[in-house]
Amino acid sequence: MIITVTGTPGVGKTTLSKLLAERLGYEYVSVRDFALEKGIGESAGDEIEIDVDELARLASEEFRERNVVIDGHLSHFIPADIVIVLRLHPGAVAERLKVRGYPPKKLAENVEAEFVDVILVEAVEENENVLEVDTTGKGPEEVLNEVLSLLQAGIKRRVGIVDWSDSYGEILPYLMEGR
């Protein structure tokens, strides 16, 4: 089974992915590491630009018969049995990215992406089985237990549970930082 964990930077993808892989006894795979290993990622400063079509093709071939949890904000482009989209209040995303030293423009882009559901929309366009999980105010174990409950219940699609529109005034300063 292929499970991908995606979301805006800072939502908790890596933490959840590693915990989920450990709990299920699955292999953990980082999209970044996989792309570099396969030569489909190109360095662009601190980031790598990944050919998502090649990512999807190679990951499908490589992981077809394996039980894996694939972690990365582009993982929703990989054909998967289940795509988990982690969400986090945009203000919390901003604060986490500030701690990580993101420049204002990159911080604002990611806050805006979380605010307008960019990753969720892409995931739904690419995949049938998508689970949206709000991580706001939850610890890693609580998020893990929620995901495990959804998986054990056989729920294959849960989207539209998050709406940040009431937060616009609160996150506007973060959006303006990048201009």
Any bridge partners for residue 68, and if so which? 2, 27
Instruction: List the CATH code of the domain at 2-177.
Output: 3.40.50.300
What pLDDT sits at residue 42?
79
What pLDDT sits at residue 152?
97
Asked if 167 and 174 touch (Cβ cutoff 8 Å), the reply is no
What pLDDT sits at residue 41?
84
pTM of the model: 0.95
Largest interatomic CA distance in the chain? 47
- For the chain, the C-alpha Rg in angstroms (whole number) is 16
What pLDDT sits at residue 31?
95
30's tokens: 């980082």
C-alpha span between 8 and 85 (Å, rounded): 9
What pLDDT sits at residue 174?
85
What pLDDT sits at residue 47?
77
% helix / strand / coil in the chain, to the nearest 5? 50, 20, 30
The tokens 């904000």 sit on which residue? 73
3-state class of 116 per DSSP?
A: coil
What pLDDT sits at residue 175?
87
- 2-6 β-sheet, strand order: 27-30, 68-71, 2-6, 82-87, 130-134
What pLDDT sits at residue 151?
97
What pLDDT sits at residue 108?
95
Please list the rounded mean pLDDT of every run of 10 residues in the chain (179 residues). Answer: 97 98 98 92 78 94 96 96 98 96 93 96 96 98 98 96 93 83
